[in-house]
Amino acid sequence: MALVVQKFGGTSMGSAERIRNAAARALATHKEGHRVVVIVSAMAGETDRLLRLAKELAAVPSAREMDALAATGEQVSSALMAIAIQAQGGRSRSFLGHQMKILTDNAFTKARIKAIDATRVTQAVDEGEIAVVAGFQGVDEEGSITTLGRGGSDTSAVAIAAALGADVCEIFTDVEGVYTTDPNVCPSAKKIDRISYEEMLELASLGAKVLQIRSVEMAMKYGVPVHVRSSFSAAAGTLVTHEGDLEQVVVTGVAYDKGEARVLFVGVRDQPGVVADIFTALAEEQVSVDMIIQNVSVEGRAQGDTVQRTDVTFTVAKTDLARVKDSIAEVGRRTGALDVRYDDDIVKVSVVGLGMRSHAGVAAKMFRILAQHAINIQAISTSEIKVSCLISSEHCELAVRALHDGFELGGPVVAEPAGR
């Protein structure tokens, strides 16, 4: 008799019909003899509606009140889910953040979980009830309602699974699982049956949007097996777990991210501390930086210039570029860069795989594949288990398909998964 945590996201809660469907999933698991705890998100669209109302009233509404407002979305979902389970013959009760209780710090709108009291929910499931817990929300020391910020319900689910010592945390979503790459770009993309936390982290942060990074980090920290699966199908999805369980493959998936713009600081003085100055200054200007690449320095770049100079490339979110351009230029001037150049017509393509650690040549193979398709690499960045290249955005789909084929990730070409 396992303890199973099941999380249903906004699209799984999008209508009475879908809520009934989710309730049936929970009941089926319960009837198999398992203890079941359900975590729910707000109905799709609900939270946005509330936040729009607040924005009508104030340009910058108080974070504490925004959380009290936003948390109602999950409160509605948890009550409706409990009602749907009861209507199908189950016993069920809803628990809010302050009832369970999920203690967080008081960083409203982006609170972090400090402790979870599992007593009442454990008691409920031990008595045969299906406990339904409102995701995304908690409560601070003073009893004020907090929310966990982006991806909060995934994080709630994993944290609660950890607190309860659950055997698995099932994340129900509108796709069949995690894919070797985006099936919309590459029809031969295959569902991955098992993937390690580390690979999932790289895939999540590199643009595969199935699981929020924060929840994967938490799952890794507490060793919670996460099963990403479809709300609309009974098929097994992708199990995210420790690498030890995995068949060793060299490359697990190909990810891409169209959301970044490239910034190039040309001719930065190559002295100790200058690069630190740059990124400290950017942080002070609230510029959030992703990839950072520094090339080796070249002497005497300009005529009569005797200092060692180097080029520094970094990426920022495309949506932030206009807002932070002035700040970036100012930092460039302050740190003595010869020029600052921008390019938002780029894409980051990455191959990810634990196997890279022991298999040489993955990066070389990636570069060769791109070269064979006449795709120019603008910048390269690597970690232990991923290689990322910035390329022109027009080559994105071509590069993804070429790498997916080149690393032999594909299965037979199948229909698109349900819900995409």
Interface with a copy of itself by CB under 8 A: which residues? 16, 19-20, 50, 53-54, 56-59, 61-62, 64-66, 68-69, 71-72, 75-76, 78-80, 82-84, 86-87, 93-94, 96, 98-99, 143-145
Residue 162 C-beta: closest distance to a copy of itself, Å: 23
Identify the bridge partners of residue 313 per DSSP, sorted by sequence position. Answer: 264, 293
Residue 258 C-beta: closest distance to a copy of itself, Å: 35
- Please report how the helices 213-222 and 197-205 are oriented relative to each other, as an axis angle in degrees rounded to 10: 170
Residue 48 C-beta: closest distance to a copy of itself, Å: 14
Phi, psi of 325 (to 5 degrees): -55, -45
Nearer to a copy of itself, 87 or 414 (CB): 87
Cβ–Cβ under 8 Å, residues 381 and 293: yes
Nearer to a copy of itself, 48 or 408 (CB): 48
Cβ-based neighbour number of residue 267 at 10 Å: 19
Q: Token pair of 307, please? A: 């200092």
Taking CA atoms, 114 is separated from 69, 139, 143, 216, 312, in Å, by 22, 10, 14, 17, 38
Nearer to a copy of itself, 54 or 380 (CB): 54
- Between the two ends of the chain, the Cα-to-Cα distance in Å is 34
Report the phi/psi class of residue 198: left, alpha or beta, with left for phi > 0 and alpha for psi in -120 to 50.
alpha
Cβ–Cβ under 8 Å, residues 188 and 405: yes
Nearer to a copy of itself, 98 or 395 (CB): 98
Residue 212 C-beta: closest distance to a copy of itself, Å: 24
Q: Token pair of 381, please? A: 């960045």
Nearer to a copy of itself, 49 or 242 (CB): 49
What are the DSSP calls for 188-210, one per residue?
A: T--B-SEEEHHHHHHHHHTT--S
Residue 16 C-beta: closest distance to a copy of itself, Å: 4
Nearer to a copy of itself, 144 or 271 (CB): 144
Give dist(CA 318, CA 259) in Å, integer: 5
Residue 28 C-beta: closest distance to a copy of itself, Å: 17
Nearer to a copy of itself, 80 or 206 (CB): 80
Residue 329 C-beta: closest distance to a copy of itself, Å: 34
